Amino acid sequence: MKVVFLDRDGVINKFPGNGLYVTKVGDFHFIPRSLEALKRLTDAGYYIFVVSNQAGVGKGVFSQQKLDQITAHMLKHVEAKGAMIDKVFYCTCKSSDACNCRKPRIGNIVEALESIDHTIDDARNAYFVGDTEGDVKAGQNAGCKTIFALSGREDLKYMQRWDVRPDYIVKDLYEATELILKEDTHPSRDSWSRPPQSR
């Protein structure tokens, strides 16, 4: 199945720092080659979903309106590159909230799959690219292949404390994309790709 789930901060754009948030458009800076990676995934027929925790909204650090502006800015630059993110799923809840969408829970992953008429059972051939233990856990909880990118919050030293291990470790989203496209040799996946005419 040609589906890739991406965390946002630390994968697509530069991680703002521990305890900090991207609170306005001016704080959003694409990681080098992330736009090129998105273009390559788009051209290969992948559905691309962003699944991101943005608790700063729930905490009142920044507003939903600011988050919407940041998203619009991101999508504008992605589309200008000739790439496409199919949908962005945010959890704006605080960690103390009893929601099902905050990673490592998989509510947003389930919703993304349902939006393309698939179920969580279809996630076994999907990829989840993230920069934290929570991302890897979310991907594993959904049954995805997990890719840990070293371009964000956590590094290999930090990973030694984890109780999970990703399937792959890469430098950044571009390297993750190269890995995904290299593995994309299963003929049955073509029937799961995004229809070209809807690009």
Which residues lie closer than 8 Å to 127 by C-beta, 6 or more apart? 3, 4, 5, 139, 144, 145, 146, 147, 176, 180
| Token couple for 41 | 């995934």
Average pLDDT of the chain? 92
Active-site annotation holder among 9, 131, 135, 172: 9
Average pLDDT for residues 10-23, to the nearest whole number?
A: 95
* pLDDT score recorded for residue 190: 45
Domain around 32:
3-198
Tokens 């901060």 — which residue? Answer: 9
Q: Does the pLDDT at position 197 exceed 50?
A: no
pLDDT digits (tens, 9 = 90+) for 67-115: 999 999 999 999 999 999 999 999 999 888 889 999 999 999 999 999 9
Decide if 167 is catalytic: no
Active-site annotation holder among 7, 131, 135, 172: 7
Total domain count for the chain? 1
Decide if 163 is catalytic: no
Q: Does the pLDDT at position 191 exceed 80?
A: no
CATH number at residue 61: 3.40.50.1000
